[in-house]
């Protein structure tokens, strides 16, 4: 079938919104009508050539939610009409990580930039017959997609799908970084550098975990205001203030228990590290363009300060466990979803959505492919 999709062709070019030929689902796969898909910075990194993918053209988009329309053979436990969130790392169910319940570490994870389906082949072609890939084995910037059941988490049907799309990436990435990676405890102090789509969710995750000092740092004034609404107790304009001085002023010269680097690690990791207390945690959630090969932290300082620097993807917990849990927390009023959405766009306006993200106008833009 022909499916309107937003396609990456070459680094530096805007996404091209065009008809793509989508094949029927094969074994273990299903057809999903995409009702909402979030605009995450990761896709922007791909569009800029900062994160390399193995093929082009490729349909980007990995923060999607929708409704199952058809099943291929061998799909288990998913029915037509089910509402689903797409997981940007599949859970094969059989590798050592999945068997431990840690699907965020699934052995298939390194293949999400390849463009192919789980079985290694492609389901999409452009008008000239060329094979077209799907980012994260999802390709959610489209009206419909074919994904493997390993990439699917079934959710309750009464949750609005624009809100459901948020729990596909930014919400678990941020909240999970606070809860599962740093393991923030009641009374802890936290610094979040970059309070966009990931960072704002670290703020709400830190609040949920009982942190009593939550310092948000950003260069965009509007994002600092949003961070206050999500639970930040202090804000720092990192465009003008010295981050380390500002954090020490709030923490009696000690530094924070946990710092989160949610934007531009080459520039922000060292100040975040130095704003962290001895023996504290520095958690990096933001991506760095390919080509940077070292951490900007003096090794001697790392040893003598006894701090831990750690990476976190998908909030360091299985999307299969986290997504239903986060939806339950939302229903209890413990986390916010609706307030994360700044603007909604039709698929044809997706490049405008990315321009808004990069200009700092959006916390989250959400594309509604059928609007
Ligand atoms: C990213 C995390 C690192 C691998 C590619 C996808 N996540 C989403 O924003
Ligand atoms: Zn993302």
Whole-number pLDDT of residue 290: 87
Residue 136 CA to ligand 1 center (angstroms) comes to 8
Q: Which residue minimizes the CA distance to atom 8 of ligand 1?
A: 42
Q: Is the CB of 238 under 6 A from ligand 1?
A: no
Residue 50 CA to ligand 1 center (angstroms) comes to 13
Q: Which residue minimizes the CA distance to atom 2 of ligand 1?
A: 313
Residue 308 CA to ligand 1 center (angstroms) comes to 22
The secondary structure of the chain, three-state, reads CEEEEEEECCCCCCCEEEEEEECCCCCCEEEEEEEEEECCHHHHHHHCCCCCCCCCCEECCCCEEEEEEEECCCCCCCCCCCEEEECCCCCCCCCHHHHCCCHHHCCCHHHCCCCCCCCCCCCEECCCCCEEEEHHHCCCCECEEEEEHHHEEEECCCCCHHHHHHCCCHHHHHHHHHHHHCCCCCCCEEEEECCCCCHHHHHHHHHHCCCCEEEEEECCHHHHHHHHHCCCCEEEECCCCCHHHHHHHHCCCCCEEEEEECCCHHHHHHHHHHCEEEEEEEEECCCCCCCCCCCCCCHHHHHHHCCEEEECCHHHCCHHHHHHHHHHHHHCCCCCCHHHEEEEECHHHHHHHHHHHHCCCCCEEEECCCC
Write the burial class of residue 342 (CB in 10 Å: 0-12 exposed, 13-18 middle, 19+ buried). middle
Residue 67 CA to ligand 2 center (angstroms) comes to 20
Which atom in ligand 1 lies closest to the alpha carbon of residue 43?
9
Which atom in ligand 1 lies closest to the alpha carbon of residue 313?
2
- The residue whose CB lies within 8 Å of the most ligand 1 atoms, and thus the one to mutate among 104, 110, 313, 315, is 313
Whole-number pLDDT of residue 73: 98
User: Digits of tens for pLDDT over the chain (371 positions)?
Assistant: 999 999 999 999 999 999 999 999 999 999 999 999 999 999 999 999 999 999 999 999 999 999 999 999 999 999 999 999 999 999 999 999 999 999 999 999 999 999 999 999 999 999 999 999 999 999 999 999 999 999 999 999 999 999 999 999 999 999 999 999 999 999 999 999 999 999 999 999 999 999 999 999 999 999 999 999 999 999 999 999 999 999 999 999 999 999 999 999 999 999 999 999 999 999 999 999 988 999 999 999 999 999 999 999 999 999 999 999 999 999 999 999 999 999 999 999 999 999 999 999 999 999 999 99
Q: Is the CB of 88 under 6 A from ligand 1?
A: yes
Q: Is the CB of 42 under 6 A from ligand 1?
A: yes
- The residue whose CB lies within 8 Å of the most ligand 1 atoms, and thus the one to mutate among 37, 38, 39, 42, is 42
Q: Is the CB of 40 under 6 A from ligand 1?
A: yes
Q: Is the CB of 285 under 6 A from ligand 1?
A: no
Q: Which domains does the chain have, with CATH numbers?
A: 2-168+337-368 (3.90.180.10), 174-313 (3.40.50.720)
Q: Which residue minimizes the CA distance to atom 5 of ligand 1?
A: 42
Residue with tokens 């500002």: 246
Q: Which residue minimizes the CA distance to atom 9 of ligand 1?
A: 42
Residue 40 CA to ligand 2 center (angstroms) comes to 5
Q: Which residue minimizes the CA distance to atom 6 of ligand 1?
A: 42
């Amino acid at each position: 079938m022909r499916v309107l999709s937003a396609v990456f062709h070459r680094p530096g070019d805007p996404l091209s919104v065009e008809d793509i030929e989508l094949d029927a689902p094969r074994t273990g796969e299903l057809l999903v009508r995409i009702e909402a898909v979030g605009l995450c910075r990761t896709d922007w990194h791909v569009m800029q050539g900062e994160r390399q993918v193995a093929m082009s053209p490729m349909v980007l988009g990995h923060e999607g939610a929708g409704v199952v329309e058809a099943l291929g053979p061998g799909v288990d436990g998913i029915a037509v009409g089910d509402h689903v969130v797409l997981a940007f790392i599949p859970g094969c169910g059989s590798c050592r990580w999945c068997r431990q319940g840690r699907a965020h570490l699934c052995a298939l994870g390194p293949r999400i930039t390849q463009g192919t389906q789980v079985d290694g082949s492609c389901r999409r072609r452009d008008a000239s017959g060329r094979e077209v890939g799907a980012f994260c084995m999802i390709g959610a910037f489209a009206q419909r997609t074919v994904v493997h059941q390993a990439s699917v988490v079934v959710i309750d049907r009464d949750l609005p799908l624009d809100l459901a799309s948020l729990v596909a990436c930014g919400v678990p990435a941020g909240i999970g970084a606070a809860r599962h990676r740093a393991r923030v405890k009641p009374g802890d102090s936290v610094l979040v550098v970059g309070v966009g789509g990931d960072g704002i969710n670290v703020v709400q995750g830190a609040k949920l975990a009982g942190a009593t000092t939550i310092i948000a740092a950003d260069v965009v004034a509007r994002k600092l205001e949003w961070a206050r609404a999500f639970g930040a107790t202090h804000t720092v304009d990192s465009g003008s203030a010295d981050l380390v001085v500002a954090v020490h002023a709030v923490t009696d010269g000690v530094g924070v228990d946990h710092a989160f680097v949610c934007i531009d690690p080459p520039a922000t990791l060292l100040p975040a590290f130095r704003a962290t207390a001895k023996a504290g945690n520095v958690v990096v959630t933001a991506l760095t363009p390919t080509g940077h090969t070292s951490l900007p932290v003096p090794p001697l300082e790392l040893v003598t300060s006894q701090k831990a620097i750690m990476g976190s993807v998908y909030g360091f917990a299985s999307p299969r466990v986290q997504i239903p849990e986060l939806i339950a927390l939302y229903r209890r009023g413990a986390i916010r979803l609706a307030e994360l959405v700044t603007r909604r766009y039709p698929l044809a306006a997706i490049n405008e959505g990315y321009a808004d993200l990069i200009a700092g106008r959006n916390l989250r833009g959400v594309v509604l492919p059928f609007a």
